Each structure stands twice: as C-alpha cells, then as structure tokens.
Amino acid sequence: MFSTGSYIDSLTLKGTAVDALLPKTDFPTTVALYQVDQSYKDSLVFLEKPTYITTTINETNNFELSNLKQGTYQLIALKEQTRNYTFQPKTDKIGFYKIMIFSLFTSGIGFLFLQYVTSFVGLCIGMFSIMVIADMFRPAMFVSLGAYAKPENRTRALTLVRIAVNLGFAAGPALGGLIIMSIGYRGLFWVDGSTCILAIGLFALLVKEKKKPISETENIDESKRISVFKDKIFWVFLFVSFVTAMIFFQLFTTLPLYHHERFGLTEFQTGLLMTINGLLIFALEMPIVSYFERKKVHKLKIILWGTLLMSISFYLLLINIWAGILVISMIFVSIGEVFSFPFSNAFALSRAPVGHEGRYMAIYTMSFSTAHIMSSKLGMEIIGHFGYQWNWFVMGGFGVLAAFSCIWIQKQLKLETRVIR
C-alpha cells in the first residue's frame, strides 16, 4: 500500500513478497521499483538498476520503501545471486530446477486424486489442469540441458531425452494394460501418480541444482534480446515443427485404421509395425546424431532431409496393392523422425537468446501439442470426405511444404549472419 506524508517525496510503499509457484519465498528477496515513463521498456530490468530498491526485512518477506517520488512505477521482486540489482535470467528468480520438481510432483498428486472424479465435466477439468502443470516440465527440461550439458553435447543430450520418451511410449501401454488386468483402473492412477512422485524425488535427491557461471550471463549483447514474437525465422521454424509433428502423429491415429480396413491387419500386427519404429529410433538415433555432429552438418539441412523422408513415406502409401509397402513406409518415416526431431529440438534451443530459452522452448513444445490435437482431426476429416489416399497425398504435400520452409530459413540465416558481421 502507498501512504503520503506532509512533504514532497514522502510516499511509502509496504508489502510482502510472495513466490508465485512455491509455498515458501526465498529470503532475502530484492524488491525494486522502476519508474514507468517515456524511456521505459520491458527489457529495463536487464539493462538498468531500479529507481528505488530494498530487500525483505525478515523471513516473513515483508518490505518497505520510503521517501518515494509521486509517479507510475513497476514493482518487481527477485531472488538475486549476483547482487548487481539487474535481472540475470540464468541465476536469478526461479529457474528450471524448481519448475521441474513442482511440475512432476504436483502432476503425481493430481493423478492420485483424479481417480475419485466421477463426472465427465470433472474429468475434463481435472485432466486439463494436470496437463497444464505437467507440460511445464518439458520446456524447463529443455532449458536444463543448457546447464547440465556442454554446448557441443546438447544435441546428443536431447537425443537421449527422446530415446527415454520413446521407451516410455513403447512400454507405457503394455505396462498400463498389465496394471489394469492385475489391480484394476484405480491401480493405474495409484501407480502413475506414485511413479511421478518417486521419479522427481530421486531427481531432487541425486541431481543437485546447477546454474551456469555468472560470467556466461554478463556482457550480453542486448541487441539479441528480441522478443520471441518478433523472431520471424523462429515462427517459420515452428511451422516446420508443427507440420512434421502432425505428419508423424498420423502413425497413432489414421494409420492403424488404414492397416485394418485396407489390409485386414490385426491389432497385434499393427503393434509389430509400430515396434519397427521404436526399434529403429532406439538403434539408429544416437549413432546418426553423433555422425552428423562430427561432420558438423547444419541442423536445418538434416531437418530438411527428415521432412522429405517423412513426405516420401506417405507418398509410398499411395501404393495400396501390397501390404509390404507398410513396412517400407514405416522405415522411411522412422528415419525421417531420427533426422528431424532431435535436431529440431537443438535448433529451437540454439535460436533462443540468452535468458529467453524458457519462453522459446515453451512455444516450441506448444507447436507439438497443437499438432497432436490437429493431426487426428484433420486426418479423419480428409478420410471421411475423400478417403485414405487423399489423406496420404495431403500429408506428403505438407512434408514438401515444410522442406521448402527449411530452405527459406537457411537463406534467412545466411542473410542474418552477414548483417551481424
């Protein structure tokens, strides 16, 4: 609250600093007031020291600012490591570590309680809430690689993450089925929630919070701190990521139906085809990534090859007189996935300016979530109106469009490099 006195510049501001995510707020916390005038901009907290500053008084995190001039201010509280009274994104405030712990622990608790929801509306609200919290984990995890992996190893680190995710996709349905058959659906919620809590507990116990050296956050070229919403190259790249993900998710939506309706494959046979994908990813992704990194092949070029391979895999499905084409198509899409996804993750992370990695990776992961939603809807609509062949043709066309977008990005990156020089 503000209070006034009997003389000029006698305004007083009192309050309490509260952590937005965690129940306990760090002490001491720096509290800063920035005057909002014609020179004010969002990046001011990175560039200049505040007009007025104080720290919280005690562990109650109360603060008081006095002798303030009348005006409009922005109030900011942050936990500083460098004590230079400017915001250092890599070391100040809440980093990826606490967000990862909060996300997975809270998701685990959410799953435990979800089993007691009995209405459809309640289930929708519960699942939506859990997914919002759970999806905080992915961008934070991507950013964490900047601290735990050396720059030259980040693509391989992202590949290991993808391999772990693919193993989860492969083992999850089978384990879920076994749990349901053994102890019922309620057991599934208990196991899912408990494993989330156990996993993040082990993470917190065995992996200590690590931050980049302060030297990496100093002397940052502020001209590179452009807003993610103004980064045209990144948004075209998001289109590429969205399209390749939408093509890929056809494997789990329209393709199993096609296997059965056109070739009479059983669920087991479709499962074997999907196993080819998982085995190829597991066997080839790390060697291929390591090879391309040793040869220093540009990430966009590899992503371009991946989108073309995915496109070819769907054009191959236009040959609908031989069931063996399903195996060949699966091999093409799997190798395309190996080329595209790990290097897409790495490119998105490398595109982010220092301090903006979280928001870049959050928007990047949102492109995949959107593709997951759109893939089945678009595919089913095309099949419903025009048939399977038209769906494969459209998906292949999307892959070609993504490839041309990669070419455009490569040209823009060359122009960008010349401008910087």
Residues of the chain with pLDDT under 50: 1-3, 20-21, 41-44, 46, 89-94, 213-224, 420-421
Give CA separation, 69 vs 11, 42, 72, 109, in Å.
Answer: 6, 21, 9, 47
The candidate with the shortest Cα–Cα distance to 107, out of 138, 140, 129, is 129
Q: 70-85: per-residue pLDDT in tens?
A: 777 767 777 665 555 5
The rounded distance, in Å, linking the Cα atoms of 393 and 387 is: 10
Q: Does the 227-421 domain belong in CATH 1.10.3720.10?
A: no
Structure confidence at residue 104 (pLDDT): 85
Residue in this structure with the two tokens 């980040």, named with its chain if needed: 154
The candidate with the shortest Cα–Cα distance to 353, out of 181, 191, 230, 183, is 230
Structure confidence at residue 378 (pLDDT): 93
Amino acid at 205: L
CA dihedral 227, 232, 238, 244 (to 10 degrees): -170
The rounded distance, in Å, linking the Cα atoms of 65 and 32 is: 9
Structure confidence at residue 399 (pLDDT): 93
The rounded distance, in Å, linking the Cα atoms of 135 and 238 is: 18
252: tokens are 């789990």
The candidate with the shortest Cα–Cα distance to 251, out of 273, 234, 218, 235, is 273
Q: Residue 176, Cβ neighbours under 10 Å: how many?
A: 14
Q: 259-317: per-residue pLDDT in tens?
A: 989 898 887 788 788 878 878 888 888 888 888 888 888 889 999 999 999 999 999 99
Structure confidence at residue 42 (pLDDT): 45
The candidate with the shortest Cα–Cα distance to 348, out of 87, 54, 145, 181, is 145
Q: Are 19 and 29 in contact, with CB atoms under 8 Å apart?
A: no
- What sign has the CA pseudo-torsion 300, 304, 305, 309? positive
Question: Phi/psi of residue 31, each to 5°?
Answer: -115, 125
Q: Are 131 and 118 in contact, with CB atoms under 8 Å apart?
A: no
The candidate with the shortest Cα–Cα distance to 131, out of 346, 374, 372, 343, is 372
Mark out the alpha helices in 11-95 (DSSP H runs): 44-47
Structure confidence at residue 218 (pLDDT): 42
